[in-house]
A and B are shown apart, each in its own frame.
Chain A
Amino acid sequence: MTKKLEQEILADLLAKKESAYQYLIDQYQQKVLNTCLGFVPNLQDAEDLCQDTFVEVFRSIHAFKGNAALSTWIFQITTRKCLAFIRYRKRHKRKAFFQSLVGLDAPESRAISDKSFHPGIALEDKERGEILFEKIALLPEKQQTAFVLNRIEGFEITEVADIMQLKRGTVDVLLNRAKKNLRQSLEQYYRNIA
């Protein structure tokens, strides 16, 4: 998106024009959804997160300062939403675990799906795909973010740096560590089941 077009879209969004909303969704929907699937490999949850992201983008468009590109800002929101969801799910699982220990039933914990099957992975690779995303989810938050944005969504390292508000060198280090940790974790897994 050129700078001029971005300015026009921004002005239309501030004027609450329906066409601008529609355009932004058409333009970014797939990338946002794919990013969400990288963090949360479950189509239903990813679609909910995608929806929440656009709602927040439209609701807080007046807060967009224009320091970064509009797309960078959108993916900052996407990343924040996904990480918040993952934290919430972890907290919820912990709570459900303790409740089960003390004998209290936690029916709402069942509402959060544990199945993680990325719809973009072929059915014959389902098992491998589940293991892969399980191990990606175990990476530290920053490594996971850099890895998902770069390796799954395909952002350049400079774009990842902009989205994560880090220096390019830092993102490089995070990516290398993420790849190394992921490989080790997978090797360990296959060693254990051998």
Chain B
Amino acid sequence: MEKNKRTPEQEAEQTLALLEHIRRPAENPYLYTRVREAMMRDQLQKRTTVQWVFALATILIILNGLFWLQSFSITGSENETLSDVFAQDYEFLQPIGSYEDDLDLVSYTMDNE
């Protein structure tokens, strides 16, 4: 009943008066342990991240080396001429002959004629 008699101003005043009676919270005896644990977790996470970066970098270096070796084995033969590569690429059964071979073929044809 008494509550209904109060004006909004009085209600607001009473609510604001609560600020004077707020008790301080009790200390948490485990806070130190929690903080230490959080810090250790943080350090562990950082270490794990560094380990992952290191592992990834190592894998990339190894893969790079493998690709390099592979490309060297494909184009690495020093005796391979450009025409051989061309013949291989276009799947010619026999490699294209030399200029001298071509001359021989022309002279053979002319002789037969």
Contacts and interface: CB of A to CB of B under 8 A. Distances in A.
Given A50-B31, A132-B15, A120 B24 contact: yes
A30 B31 contact: no
Interface residues of B, number: 24
A74 interface: no
Contacts of B22: 118, 120-121, 152
Given A186-B11, A194-B8, A30 B25 contact: yes
A25 B31 contact: yes
Interface stretch (B33-41, B53-61, B73-81): B33-41
Interface string B12-36: 1011101101111101100110111
Contacts of B8: 186-191, 194
Interface string B59-95: 0000000000000000000000000000000000000
B28 A120 contact: no
B31 A187 contact: no
Contacts, number: 86
A125 B26 CA distance: 19
B35 A55 contact: yes
Chain A facing B: main interface SS = helix
A15 interface: no
Contact of A29 (B12, B31, B38, B39): B31
A30 B32 contact: no
A17 interface: no
A37 B15 contact: no
A158 interface: no
Contacts of B111: none
Given A21-B32, A128-B15, A186-B12, A29 B27 contact: yes
Closest 4 CB pairs of A and B: A186-B12, A190-B8, A190-B11, A120-B23
Given A29-B28, A132-B16, 10 more contacts: A25-B31, A50-B31, A52-B38, A55-B42, A59-B39, A119-B25, A128-B18, A152-B19, A183-B12, A186-B15
21 contacts: A21-B32, A21-B35, A22-B32, A30-B25, A34-B24, A46-B25, A47-B31, A50-B31, A55-B35, A59-B42, A120-B23, A120-B24, A121-B18, A125-B21, A132-B16, A132-B18, A151-B19, A183-B16, A186-B15, A187-B12, A188-B8
Interface of A: 21-22, 25, 29-30, 33-34, 37, 43, 46-47, 50-52, 54-55, 58-59, 118-122, 125, 128-129, 131-132, 151-152, 182-183, 186-191, 194
